């Protein structure tokens, strides 16, 4: 069977690693490319230094650079996704799913019973990814995200592990 993903973007060439605080600068650069509200490198570093951090990076290329990340925290029996992104030129190649599945494995090992996150209700790509992975809506925060034409709701999605 042939794949329609070019070898350059093939997930077989991608490695999943723990996100060490030393990778904060690179993660911040990718975060700024993908999100309108860029997080400061120092804030990302603090999150990665936190003992509860359960954060992963997906690296690929030669030299290997960060193509995607998920920043999450494990508390009691829950893991919360604080941010996830994939570089625009690597989207729809399976990295988002790979990062979330890696997080699910790590969270299970940490004895978490569920993963939850907040997502803007107009973020169709992220919603499609989460629903495909089995996340279900468990809450709604009204007018949570600001858009130029008005505030929109955040959906709280949960995946039982």
| Residues belonging to the active site | 118, 130
Site for ligand COA contains 155 (CB under 6 A): no
CA dist 24 and 102 (Å) reads 19
Q: How far is the CB of 100 from ligand COA (least distance, A)?
A: 8
The DSSP call for residue 37 is S
The answer to whether residue 33 forms part of the interface with ligand COA (CB under 6 A) is no
Q: How far is CA 68 from the centre of its chain?
A: 8
Q: How far is the CB of 68 from ligand COA (least distance, A)?
A: 6
Residues 60/13, Cβ–Cβ less than 8 Å: yes
Q: Is 123 in the site for ligand COA (CB under 6 A)?
A: yes
Q: Chain-centre distance of CA 122, in angstroms? A: 17
Selected binder of ligand COA within 132, 140, 141, 147 (CB under 6 A): 132
CA atoms within 13 A on the CB side of 132: 12
Binding residues for ligand COA, per CB under 6 A? 34, 84-86, 91-97, 119, 123-126, 128-129, 132
């Amino acid at each position: 069977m042939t794949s329609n993903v070019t070898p350059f973007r093939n997930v077989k060439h991608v490695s999943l690693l723990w996100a060490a605080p030393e990778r904060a600068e690179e993660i911040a650069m990718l975060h700024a490319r993908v999100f309108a509200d860029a997080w400061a490198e120092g804030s990302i570093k603090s999150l990665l230094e936190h003992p509860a951090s359960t954060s992963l990076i997906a690296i690929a290329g030669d030299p290997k650079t960060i193509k995607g990340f998920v920043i999450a925290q494990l508390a009691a029996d829950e893991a919360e996704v604080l941010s996830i992104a994939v570089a625009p030129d690597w989207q729809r190649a399976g990295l988002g799913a790979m990062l979330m599945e890696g997080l699910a494995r790590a969270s299970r090992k940490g004895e978490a019973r569920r993963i939850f996150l907040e997502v803007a209700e107009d973020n169709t790509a992220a919603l499609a990814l989460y629903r495909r992975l089995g996340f279900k809506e468990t809450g709604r925060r009204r007018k949570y995200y600001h858009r130029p034409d008005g505030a929109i709701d955040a959906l709280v999605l949960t995946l039982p592990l």
